[in-house]
Amino acid sequence: MAEPVPLSTAYRTHALNEIQANGAFLIDVEVTVCGFMEANRGKGKICFVDLRDGTGKCQIFLKEGNVDETILTEIQNLSRESTIQVRGVVAQKRPPKVKEGEPIPPPEYEVVANHASVLAQAETPLPLGVTDSVHVELDTRLDNRFLDLRRKHVNAIFNLRSKILQYGREHLIKEGFKEMNSPKIIAAAAEGGTNLFPMKYFDRDAYLSQSPQLYKQLAVLGGLERVFEIGPAFRAEKHDTYRHLNEFVSFDIEMAWASDEDVMGVQERMIHHIWSQVAANEQHFVDDINAYRLTQDMEPIEVIPPTIPFPRVSYCDAIDLIQQSGQEIEWGDDIEAHHADIIAEKHNGFHFIPRWPMEMKPFYIYHDENEKSVSGGQLSRGFDLNYGRDEMTSGGQREHRTEILRSNLENMGLEPREFQFYIDGFRFGAPPHAGWGLGVARLTMVLTGSRNVRETVLFPRDRRRCTP
């Protein structure tokens, strides 16, 4: 267990989960707590408040005689989600009445108030109910994300997202990676392909970066050896699907003296570490999500560390598989969503799709001239990681030979001169290297069973939404 950290602040002596966790030792101790008032019961001489803070919940018991009468009335008439501060004494709760045959729940603790004050009163009605059982549409939720986030299962999703980043970082650092940051304002639409958001950089035209790709390679060329970056990427594509956003957080690595297979290994070990640690330490968040799913007639989610190594379904094998199912596809065609469904029937978890045709991969992907398909097409060292039908990662070994880089650009109809700053990095000695970029929100979707990437991004930016 981690060392205890002080949770007391200027406003409270204890967090609410401390009252529940250490209640037996806190009985008769005077504490001051704060929180959102989830519900209040009682209009006469007593009042119960369900109080919630970012750590947990606790019942507050107010009774005429213990607290000032005006305070009692004020709390009794207070609107839900108002914030209050309570001073009182910890006591064991009287056990709730249970139906015959049902187990008696473990003891819980409450604070018997001797003083309370309202910190901020909530307006009514709430734009969405924090504890209500009624369904709320995603659009309403996103318009009121600050309230949506107070719902337990939503809060759990973002706690788990934070854990993905924490355990992912933890693992990469263990493997010798260093965290870096690349610029998000770039001068040129350097790579073609996806559309960039234009912006003004003082008097010049500039763009928002679509990927840290070139910069993390330059860091490796500079001798940082192994780097990772967790940062935003921007794409001005007018897509409108459950898995695309125009701003997203990309988890990127780049690694020297390495092949595509080497960095696939890093990735599967990292994902395995994340899943294992979540299963070991964060099950309560998963339980929160499942408690909600139960009310929505959804299957519960389970966090089971995936077996490594992940299956490798090479591009050629994938094409065969799709053809065998009767679909029209040829070597050199992109694997589209309905094709991915066929692969997912056989591999419903994580699986790599390595060795794509070189012509389908960007100019900086490495190829070995001896690696050709049966039909003679040039293969590359580019790969994807999919979960079921959904793409999580795009990666590969990078081309480190300056002359090949130049000819790749020419073969793809790009102008080598426009990439001079990039090619320059390779002119004075370059290690073979490889890397990948992983969509954090997409991985969080998998972990939390979310079916829309907007569920796993606090304030998503899509084609229509730019606020809040």
Chosen residue from 3, 4, 70, 97 binding RNA by CB under 7 A: 97
Determine the Cα–Cα distance for residues 31 and 14; give it in Å rounded to an integer.
7
Determine the Cα–Cα distance for residues 81 and 52; give it in Å rounded to an integer.
9
Cβ closest to RNA, residue 59 vs residue 83: 59
Contact between 118 and RNA by CB under 7 A: the answer reads no
Contact between 211 and RNA by CB under 7 A: the answer reads yes
Contact between 204 and RNA by CB under 7 A: the answer reads no
Q: Give the nearest distance from C-beta 254 to RNA in angstroms.
A: 11
Q: Give the nearest distance from C-beta 448 to RNA in angstroms.
A: 16
Q: Give the nearest distance from C-beta 148 to RNA in angstroms.
A: 10
Contact between 44 and RNA by CB under 7 A: the answer reads yes
Cβ closest to RNA, residue 71 vs residue 278: 71
Stretch binding RNA (CB under 7 A), from 133-141, 147-155, 312-320, 370-378:
133-141
Cβ closest to RNA, residue 112 vs residue 303: 112
Contact between 346 and RNA by CB under 7 A: the answer reads no
End-to-end CA gap in the chain:
38
Stretch binding RNA (CB under 7 A), from 90-98, 171-179, 399-407, 408-416:
90-98
Cβ closest to RNA, residue 249 vs residue 279: 249
Contact between 28 and RNA by CB under 7 A: the answer reads no
Contact between 232 and RNA by CB under 7 A: the answer reads no
Contact between 414 and RNA by CB under 7 A: the answer reads no
Stretch binding RNA (CB under 7 A), from 186-194, 253-261, 284-292, 370-378:
186-194
Q: Give the nearest distance from C-beta 270 to RNA in angstroms.
A: 19
Contact between 242 and RNA by CB under 7 A: the answer reads yes
Interface mask toward RNA for 367-406; x: CB under 7 A: ---------------------------x------------
Contact between 465 and RNA by CB under 7 A: the answer reads yes
Q: Give the nearest distance from C-beta 435 to RNA in angstroms.
A: 10
Chosen residue from 29, 48, 224, 259 binding RNA by CB under 7 A: 48
Q: Give the nearest distance from C-beta 367 to RNA in angstroms.
A: 15
Cβ closest to RNA, residue 186 vs residue 303: 186
Chosen residue from 241, 283, 307, 348 binding RNA by CB under 7 A: 241
Contact positions with RNA (CB under 7 A) in 256-315: none
CA angle 189, 408, 369 (to 5 degrees): 150
Cβ closest to RNA, residue 135 vs residue 204: 135
Q: Give a three-class secondary structure readout of the chain.
A: CCCCCCCCCCCCCCCHHHHHHCHHHHECCEEEEEEEEEEEECCCCEEEEEEECCCCEEEEEEEECCECHHHHHHHHCCCCCCEEEEEEEEEECCCCCCCCCCCCCCCCEEEEEEEEEEEECCCCCCCCCCCCCCCCCHHHHHHCHHHHCCCHHHHHHHHHHHHHHHHHHHHHHHCCCEECCCCCEECCCCCCCCCCCEEEECCEEEEECCCCHHHHHHHHHHHHCEEEEEEEEECCCCCCCCCCCCEEEEEEEEEECCCHHHHHHHHHHHHHHHHHHHHHHCHHHHHHHHHHHHHCCCCCCCCCCCCCCCCECCHHHHHHHHHHCCCCCCCCCCCCHHHHHHHHHHCCCEEEEECCEHHHCCCCECCCCCCECCCCCEECCEEEEEECCEEEEEEEEECCCHHHHHHHHHHCCCCHHHHHHHHHCCCCCCCCEEEEEEEHHHHHHHHHCCCCHHHHCCCCECCCCCCC
Cβ closest to RNA, residue 275 vs residue 383: 383
Q: Give the nearest distance from C-beta 103 to RNA in angstroms.
A: 14
Instruction: Count the site residues for RNA by CB under 7 A.
Output: 65
Helix 260-281 with 283-295: angle, nearest 10 deg: 80
Contact between 239 and RNA by CB under 7 A: the answer reads yes
Contact between 449 and RNA by CB under 7 A: the answer reads no
**What backbone torsions phi and psi does residue 25 show, to the nearest 5 degrees?**
-90, -10
CB 78 within 8 A of CB 47: no
Contact between 337 and RNA by CB under 7 A: the answer reads yes
Binding site for RNA (CB under 7 A): 39, 41-48, 50, 59, 61, 63, 77, 79-80, 91, 93-97, 110, 112, 124-129, 132-140, 190-191, 193-194, 210-211, 213-214, 235, 237-242, 244, 334, 336-338, 362, 394, 437, 452, 464-465
